[in-house]
Amino acid sequence: MLRGNLKLIIGLIMLAIFLVIAIIGPSIAPYGINETAKMEYVTTKQGGTLMAPPFPPSKKHILGTDRWGYDILSLLLYGARFTLFTVLIVSFLRVAMGGLLGFIFALNKHALDRPKNKVKVNIFSGLPIFIFIYFILYRINLQPVMRPVTLTIIAGVLMVLLGVMNVYNVVYGKTIEIKKNLYVTAAFSMGGSRWHIMKKHIWPAMKSQMLIIFVNEMIQVMHLIGQLGIFNLFLGGTIVQMDPPLAISVTKEWAGLIGQFRSSFYYSRWIIMFPLSCYLLLLLAFYWVAQGLIKREKLIQRKQPFLS
Amino acid sequence: MSSLKFIIHQILGVILLLILAALPLHFFSDGSRVVFQPYGIVEEIKRFVMGLWSGESLYYFQGDRSRFLLDDLTSFFLSSYMYLTVSLLAVVVLALILGIWFWKKSEQWLNSFLGFIGFLPDFILILLLQLLLGFIYSKTGVKIAKVASFSTDDPAVFLPILTLTVLPLFYLVRALNEKTFEVLTEDYILTAKSKGLSKRYIYLVHVTSNVLPFLKADLYKIVGISISNLFIVEYLYNTRGLTELLFEYPTHFGYQYNLVVITLFSFLALYVGTLFTIKLFLFLAEKIFMRFYFL
């Protein structure tokens, strides 16, 4: 399965590392989640200076600290589990629910049924998905009274519900395509039950497709939480400070950290660089897995174009 | 029957939108518990619909000043529309060239590391571009483009258009690549080839005309993707546009239900307007091309 497929191998290894980090993260974090580095008085050759956070990367703080002195490496280790598990669980539920519905409806569709003409443009055509979550969660996510886990679950449920339709459409379309094959028609006319057709003809053809859809959904969910983070709606709650106006992530989830540190863009760049790189690496892992899977799929179903 | 279904579908959508926009006012945490007021939502919607008759809903407040909504809305709308249309026209033209006529080259590019750019979320791409330009500026002192608008008279143009072009382009080129590959495995291409038609002719006439329907069908999705990018682009580059009414005004002037609802509705107008502009462009391009090539 993996032979010669470098992208798939590297992607899976990276994902495994991220999973391990997400599970054991808090226990290997060098500092506590509420531990801050204090101002220091450093004596150098030129004389003494008062050092205040943010501290740049050093031996004491490998990835530096933010402006309140929180160790960035620790924040990332604490937040990893929220990012990774939300992405995994939400996309799994999307694929499971959307896929199941897609299979059921496609299998029960009779060949003579009129194709449904879908309404292509509606009032929501011009609105991105995150806007729905934004409006629903906006006021309960700011200064939260619910527990971070509860808020994350609410956001997760919304993300699942808003994404199911997409998966359903893809699975439905592909299943209908497979059903058109002659061997499926033959199996039907031989008296094969729907369950039999599903098990013997459709699932084997759709297996690898479902995996690709799953990985693509993970990428979509990462985009979604990232976009929410940019609008200061962090998974698990946002604490707002008025003076100066700042939004702080409760769970230290990665997309939230990016949103939170966005303002440190022009002076102390390392603060935003490290969460950004972590997020990008996770995305890259998903991307390579997806690319590897697609490549494997293409090798199986190779056709030759007549014109180069 | 199907038109009735259409109407019901649209009415349900409008009702859902009206409820959605009222949620920030009536579903919130007040510091100690979560408050949900369903009657408040109904009241809010009622007041808005009544206000539409009396014209009250068409005015909003900037601090103490009451302003006519449609006056301000038009300029914001046109700004969004310009950014969106210009970049989408670029997307369609480039996708035709790269996705169909140079499909082999672009497939190689997409499979190389470059393809990862297409999977970057919009906000990451913007942050990276801003970071890159900042870095270049600090090293060489060359200002390539504005990283954000600081006033309305001097808007950032290049980077917003670039961002709005890049992301849908990657998606579309990928889709067209696949379709072109599929078309090239068809028997009619083999027939055309065996008749001794030139490669250029086959590409222009047979391949393009068979891939174009997919592009047209995909336009609905492309415009949707672009608008969802537009939200982030306008927010992060601070350019003038409809999203400013949605995100900036509520923080400055308080959450005004009618303002938010009408802005949300105008996104539909933006979607339809852009979609038809692009369709018109494709239609005209096709007609002109036919006229020149076959006469």
- DSSP assignment of A48-96 equals EEEE-SPPPS-SSSTT-B-TT-BBHHHHHHHHHHHHHHHHHHHHHHHHH
Burial zone of B233 (CB within 10 Å; 0-12 exposed, 13-18 middle, 19+ buried): buried
Residue B197, CA atoms < 13 Å, CB-side half-sphere? 17
Contact (CB<8Å) A306/B267? no
Contact (CB<8Å) A129/B228? yes
Domains of chain A listed by start with CATH number: 74-303 (1.10.3720.10)
Q: Which residues of A touch B13 (CB under 8 A)?
A: 122-124
Indicate the residue of B24, B202, B228 with minimum beta-carbon distance to A307: B202
Contact (CB<8Å) B23/A306? no
Q: Which residue of B has its CA nearest to A129?
A: B228
Answer whether A203 touches B (CB < 8 Å). no
- 3 state SS of B60: strand
Contact (CB<8Å) B33/A142? no
Indicate the residue of A120, A280, A306 with minimum beta-carbon distance to B189: A306
Q: How confident is the model at residue B273 (pLDDT cuts 50, 70, 90)?
A: very high
Contact (CB<8Å) A227/B111? no
Backbone angles phi, psi at B31, to 5 degrees: 105, -30
Q: Which residue of B has its CA nearest to A144?
A: B29
Dump pLDDT digits (tens) for A6-19: 888 898 999 999 89
Percent of chain B with pLDDT over 70: 98
- Residue (of B76, B89, B75) closest to B226 by Cα position: B89
- What is the DSSP secondary-structure string of A38-51? PPEEEEETTEEEEE
Q: How many CB atoms lie within 10 A of CB A119?
A: 14
Instruction: Give the separation between CA A225 and CA A133, rounded to whole angstroms.
Output: 10
Evaluate the omega torsion of the peptide bond into residue A245 and state whether it is cis, within 30 degrees of 0.
Answer: no
Q: Which residues of B touch A148 (CB under 8 A)?
A: none
In terms of pLDDT, which residue wins out, A225 or A141? A225
Indicate the residue of B115, B232, B268 with minimum beta-carbon distance to A125: B268
Q: Which residues of A touch B275 (CB under 8 A)?
A: 121
Own/partner long-range contacts of B104-107 (Cβ < 8 Å, ≥24 apart): B104/A308, B106/B173, B106/B177, B107/B177, B107/B181
Instruction: Give the separation between CA B169 and CA B163, rounded to whole angstroms.
Output: 10
Q: Which residues of B touch A120 (CB under 8 A)?
A: 220
Given a contact cutoff of 8 angstroms between Cβ atoms, the answer to whether A16 and A61 are in contact is no
- 3 state SS of B88: helix
Instruction: Give the separation between CA B212 and CA B279, rounded to whole angstroms.
Output: 12
Answer whether A267 touches B (CB < 8 Å). no
Task: Tell me the one-letter amino acid at A134.
Answer: Y
Indicate the residue of A227, A287, A291 with minimum beta-carbon distance to B123: A227
Contact (CB<8Å) B29/A138? no
Q: Which residues pair with A49 in a beta bridge?
A: A42
Task: Tell me the one-letter amino acid at A236.
Answer: G
Q: Which residues pair with B60 in a beta bridge?
A: B67
Is residue B183's pLDDT more than 70? yes
Answer whether A50 touches B (CB < 8 Å). no
Rg (C-alpha) for chain A, rounded Å, is: 24
Given a contact cutoff of 8 angstroms between Cβ atoms, the answer to whether B194 and A306 are in contact is no
Dump pLDDT digits (tens) for A238-275: 777 776 777 777 778 888 888 888 777 666 777 788 88
Q: Which residue of A has its CA nearest to B147?
A: A266
Provide the greatest CA pair distance for chain B.
79
Q: Is the dihedral of CA A78, A82, A85, A87 positive or negative?
A: negative
Query: A149 Cβ partners below 8 Å, 6+ apart?
Result: A236
CA distances A13 to A90, A286, B210, B221, Å, are: 21, 11, 41, 34
Percent of chain A with pLDDT over 70: 81
- Tokens standing for residue A253: 């989830």
- Tokens standing for residue B149: 């608008």
- Token look-up 């914001």 returns B76
Instruction: Give the separation between CA A287 and CA A195, rounded to whole angstroms.
Output: 34
Contact (CB<8Å) B235/A266? no
Dump pLDDT digits (tens) for A38-87: 666 666 666 666 666 666 677 666 667 777 767 778 888 888 888 888 89
Dump pLDDT digits (tens) for B5-28: 888 888 898 898 888 888 888 887
| B126, containing H or E segment | helix B122-140
Q: What is the ipTM of this complex?
A: 0.84
